[in-house]
Amino acid sequence: MTMRTVYVNGNYLPENEATISIFDRGFLMADGVYEVTSVLDGKLIDFAGHAKRLERSLKELDMPHPAELPDLLVIHRELVRVNGIVEGLVYLQITRGAPGDRDFAFPDPETTAPTVVLFTQNKPGLIDSPAARIGIKVISVDDLRWARRDIKTVQLLYPSMGKMIAKAAGVDDAWMVEDGHVTEGTSNNAYIVQGSTIITRHLGNEILHGITRAAVLRFAREAQMTVEERSFTIAEAQAADEAFITSASAFVMPVVEVDGQAVGTGSPGPVAARLREIYLEESRKAAV
């Protein structure tokens, strides 16, 4: 792989020259938040949505905002440009910084600046993914994460474990279940389709408020589709006509099997296909 240019605390550097402190609270305590913005046609998809959620995550954790929003957009665009990204993503992480020691108490923001890291990932073929044509298979796992999943923190150990449980079972991903209801996928929001109704869990502290979710539900409503924001069970998913997931990097991805049971025909359905098409078309038009 060619050497990327990445961004660390005000500097654009070759990736092998970028460093952060061993005392960084992101490293020691997962005290950090992140965003992933996809890039299509060399442009950022829904940057404003990601910037807004980032601000909310920082606020919920009492973390100072390190840079004005136009600066973050400039950095995103510059990394896309210098790394020649046409299809891919920009990863952004902000941590509470490196106070020079390990302590549970938050450092004084006047003396400890946040750490800001951004890098790109090149993903040619992101749109034309084979998985979107054949659909993915999921299994259910208990949702063992903390109770503030609405904050996009870098504590991703349990979602990683869920992904590994899925891989070990020979499937693509896991849907997490709490109190008998699906919360979300390891790194995506979960949906089922009953007839012409799209059902996805309501917002709350139990799930991440997906930027793709917000856009897809808006487009669905604009296209006169019925949307129900409520929780659903694995049995409902197995009996549904269709299922799918959304995320910034998967867009709309059909789910064709849940816990070994085919959903609908066992092939991607028309609602997910239509939503993927609308989402890609509309978000590319609005890309910056």
d(CA 102, CA 125): 42
**CA gap 22, 102 in Å, rounded:** 10
- Look at residue 225 and give its three-state secondary structure: coil
Tokens of 230: 């409520």
Based on the shown chain and the rule CB under 6 A, indicate whether residue 238 belongs to the binding site for ligand PMP.
no
Options 93, 212, 231, 283; binder of ligand PMP; rule CB under 6 A: 212
Here the tokens at position 262 are: 């085919």
Question: Which amino acid makes up residue 195?
Answer: G
Which stretch in 82-90, 165-173, 205-213, 277-285 sits in contact with ligand PMP by CB under 6 A? 205-213
Rule CB under 6 A: choose which of 188, 200, 238, 283 binds ligand PMP.
188
Among 187, 231, 238, 283, binds ligand PMP (CB under 6 A): 187
Distance CA 229, CA 222 (A): 16
Q: In 48-81, which positions are buried (b, 16+ CB within 10 angstroms) versus exposed (e)?
A: ebbbebbeebbeebebeebeeeeebbebbbebbe
152 has catalytic annotation: yes
- DSSP E strands, the chain: 5-8, 11-14, 32-40, 43-44, 88-95, 115-122, 136-142, 173-178, 181-185, 189-194, 197-200, 226-229, 242-247, 251-258, 261-262
Binding flag, residue 211, ligand PMP (CB under 6 A): yes
Least distance (Å) from ligand PMP to the CB of residue 211?
4
Tell me which of 152, 163, 167, 285 is the catalytic residue: 152
Q: Which is nearer to ligand PMP, 90 or 208 (CB)?
A: 208
User: How many residues in the chain?
Assistant: 288
* Alpha-carbon torsion, ordered 61, 30, 34, 21, to 10 deg: 110
Site track for ligand PMP across 34-73, x = CB under 6 A: --x-------------------------------------
For ligand PMP, the closer of residues 25 and 213 by Cβ is 213
Size of the site for ligand PMP (CB under 6 A): 13
Specify the DSSP element, H or E, that contains 134. helix 130-134
Q: Is 206 a binder of ligand PMP (CB under 6 A)?
A: no
The contact mask relative to ligand PMP for 143-182 (x = CB under 6 A, - = no) is ----------------------------------------
Which part of the chain contacts ligand PMP (CB under 6 A), choosing from 68-76, 81-89, 211-219, 273-281?
211-219
Q: Which is nearer to ligand PMP, 4 or 163 (CB)?
A: 163
**31 vs 206, beta carbon nearer ligand PMP:** 206
User: Is residue 252 close enough to count as binding ligand PMP by CB under 6 A?
Assistant: no
CB of 181 to ligand PMP, least distance (A): 15
Residue type, position 279, single letter: Y
> Using CB under 6 A, which of 208, 237, 256, 278 touches ligand PMP?
208
Q: How many CA atoms lie within 13 A of 158 on its CB side?
A: 15
Query: Which residues are near ligand PMP by CB under 6 A?
Result: 36, 184, 187-189, 208, 210-213, 246-248
Catalytic residue positions?
A: 152
